[in-house]
């Protein structure tokens, strides 16, 4: 996948996520996620696990939105692409959780199929901090 296509897809994904996490509907997410999407969050916290299928992924997004009281936002920093269908994106997150403004960094590994996000593996750069934020 070329860089411009990867950035465009991630731009649509993050725009749809930020809209949803801010209290909006899931229409944009349904347009960018494959029906059989898989989303994997590591760790020992309230959002960790593997979610299979668009409804399970949207339920996970809804839980994350509720924990962050609709304040969660994604801020993409960089994108890495190669010859295959996988994109790596360095992305920062911010949210106010339990009255405290928090920030963290992750690498999202995205598998793309037919122009849609088919899978995501989230890799926090500081796993202990990520678990503390989302616990």
Domain boundaries, the chain: 3-133
Query: Predicted confidence band at 24 (pLDDT cuts at 50, 70, 90)?
Result: very high
Beta strands 73-81; 86-97: pairing state: antiparallel
Structure confidence at residue 9 (pLDDT): 96
Q: Give the separation between CA 19 and CA 114, rounded to whole angstroms.
A: 23
Q: Are 64 and 94 in contact (CB under 8 A)?
A: no
CATH number for the domain formed by residue range(s) 3-133:
3.10.450.50
Whether the pLDDT of residue 27 is over 90: the answer is yes
Structure confidence at residue 74 (pLDDT): 96
Q: Mention every residue, 6+ apart, whose C-beta is less than 8 A from residue 62.
A: none
Q: Are 105 and 1 in contact (CB under 8 A)?
A: no
Q: Give the separation between CA 62 and CA 36, rounded to whole angstroms.
A: 18
What's the average model confidence in pLDDT over 40-49? 95
pTM: 0.93
Output the average pLDDT for the chain.
96
- What is the SS3 assignment for 98? coil
H/E stretch holding 50: strand 49-52
Closest of 121, 87, 114, 93 to residue 7, by C-alpha? 87
Q: Where are the alpha helices (DSSP H) in the chain?
A: 3-21, 27-32, 54-67, 127-133
What's the average model confidence in pLDDT over 20-27? 97
Which tens digits make up the pLDDT trace of 83-121? 899 999 999 999 999 999 999 999 999 999 999 999 999
Structure confidence at residue 1 (pLDDT): 87
Query: Predicted confidence band at 79 (pLDDT cuts at 50, 70, 90)?
Result: very high
């Amino acid at each position: 996948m070329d860089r411009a296509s990867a950035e465009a897809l991630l731009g649509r994904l993050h725009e749809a996520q930020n809209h949803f996490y801010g209290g909006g509907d899931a229409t944009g997410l349904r347009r960018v996620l494959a029906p059989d999407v898989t989303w994997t969050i590591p760790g020992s916290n309230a959002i960790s696990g593997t979610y299979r299928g668009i409804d399970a992924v949207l339920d996970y997004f809804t839980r994350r939105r509720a924990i962050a009281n609709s304040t969660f936002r994604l801020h993409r920093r960089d994108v890495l692409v190669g010859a295959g269908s996988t994109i790596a994106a360095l992305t920062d997150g911010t949210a106010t959780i339990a009255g405290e403004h928090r920030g963290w960094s992750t690498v999202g590994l995205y598998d793309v199929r037919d122009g849609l996000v088919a899978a995501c593996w989230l890799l926090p750069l500081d796993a202990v901090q990520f678990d503390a934020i989302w616990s």
